[in-house]
């Protein structure tokens, strides 16, 4: 997990950066969004824009990537994604580049009311299918910029085993080890595809009960799509899970790795390893239970 040392970011700083670098907007109201993220600090800029500032050096590596690739991907996708308007430079004590985006209406799926979770799952699956079909020429490979999402699970082998050992007596460590080791024995045999890198309830916007947009492409890369499958166990269940899985043309090994990616994140959060968010621990325990209880045939076909 990344170093979590943070820079103090507040409304005053954002106002000063806007005034110095984009004076045409200096009189617009700046205020924090109601629900902020872990990697970035986000602020409304007037009614139609938002300002997004990385909160640590590890997250700052994503800014230029999003500025470059999101405008190229957007026309080929069936849902809205963030639209970069400007890229800010370091200044006034803030050390990294930052972004101004057009505001997208909606509340996150983590808090919004979803009218039909099955329809929501179908819309998301169709979005991922479209994303995976886009030409990957010159796309960024997994690496430190996206914490190796789309890369090899083995990157997090030591961290996962540490978490499993820490959680002895709290979870079924034999089942967790079997899921992890089974996934490590598989690999992606297709050509690299585009991956979002963090398909989570907090990065899916709901408007009028339906999926309206996919946001936060800091994990964007080209590689193994397994990392984008975690939503299967973190949001969907029953028929909505079936609807999501049935649409995606992926083999058993990819589903096994997707399950393992989900398990890795839940394990390190529940074990409270350094760099994780302690507020998410109870939800992590629930996700571990969902992952270990899933014995679907799709992972053994």
Predicted confidence pLDDT, tens digits, the chain (301 residues)? 444 455 889 999 999 999 999 999 999 999 999 877 778 999 999 999 999 999 999 999 999 999 999 999 999 999 999 999 999 999 999 999 999 999 999 999 999 999 999 999 999 999 999 999 999 999 999 999 999 999 999 999 999 999 999 999 999 999 999 999 999 999 999 999 999 999 999 999 999 999 999 999 999 999 999 999 999 999 999 999 999 999 999 999 999 999 999 999 999 999 999 888 888 999 999 999 999 999 877 766 5
User: Is the domain of 46 the same as that of 78?
Assistant: yes
In a domain, 6, yes or no: no
User: Is the domain of 16 the same as that of 147?
Assistant: no
User: Is the domain of 121 the same as that of 238?
Assistant: yes
In a domain, 129, yes or no: yes
Neighbours of 127 (CB within 10 A): 21
Domain boundary among 53, 70, 103: 103
User: Is the domain of 241 the same as that of 165?
Assistant: yes
Domain boundary among 69, 103, 137: 103
User: Is the domain of 267 the same as that of 282?
Assistant: yes
User: Is the domain of 244 the same as that of 210?
Assistant: yes
Dist. CA 219–CA 114, nearest whole Å: 25
User: Is the domain of 284 the same as that of 203?
Assistant: yes
**Domain tally, the chain:** 2
User: Is the domain of 125 the same as that of 207?
Assistant: yes
**CATH classification at residue 181:** 3.90.1200.10
User: Is the domain of 207 the same as that of 231?
Assistant: yes
* pTM confidence score: 0.93
**CATH classification at residue 39:** 3.30.200.20
């Amino acid at each position: 997990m990344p170093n979590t040392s943070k820079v103090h970011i507040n409304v005053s700083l954002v106002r000063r950066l806007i005034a110095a670098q984009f004076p045409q907007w200096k009189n617009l109201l700046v205020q924090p969004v109601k629900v902020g993220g872990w990697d970035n600090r986000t602020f409304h800029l007037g009614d139609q824009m938002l300002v997004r500032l990385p909160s640590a050096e590890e997250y700052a590596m994503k800014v230029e990537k999003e500025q470059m690739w999101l405008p190229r991907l957007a026309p080929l996708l069936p849902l809205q994604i963030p639209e970069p308007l400007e890229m800010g430079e370091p200044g006034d004590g803030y050390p990294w580049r930052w972004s101004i985006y057009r505001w997208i209406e909606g509340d996150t799926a983590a808090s919004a009311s979803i009218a039909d979770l099955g329809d929501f799952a179908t819309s998301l699956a169709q979005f991922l299918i479209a994303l995976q079909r886009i030409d990957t020429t010159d796309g960024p490979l997994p690496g430190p910029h996206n914490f190796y999402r789309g890369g090899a699970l083995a990157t997090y082998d030591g961290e996962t085993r540490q978490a499993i050992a820490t959680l002895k007596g709290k979870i079924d460590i034999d089942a967790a080890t079997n899921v992890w080791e089974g996934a490590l024995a598989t690999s992606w045999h297709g050509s690299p595809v585009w991956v979002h890198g963090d398909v989570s309830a907090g990065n899916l916007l709901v408007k009028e009960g339906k999926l309206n947009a996919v946001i936060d492409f800091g994990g964007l890369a080209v590689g193994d799509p397994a990392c984008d499958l975690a939503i299967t166990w973190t949001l969907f269940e029953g028929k909505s899970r079936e609807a999501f899985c049935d649409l995606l043309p992926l083999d058993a090994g990819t589903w096994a790795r997707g399950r393992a990616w989900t398990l890795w994140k839940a394990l390190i959060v529940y074990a409270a390893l350094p760099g994780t968010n302690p507020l998410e621990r109870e939800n992590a325990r629930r996700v571990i239970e969902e992952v270990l209880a899933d014995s679907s045939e799709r992972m053994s076909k």
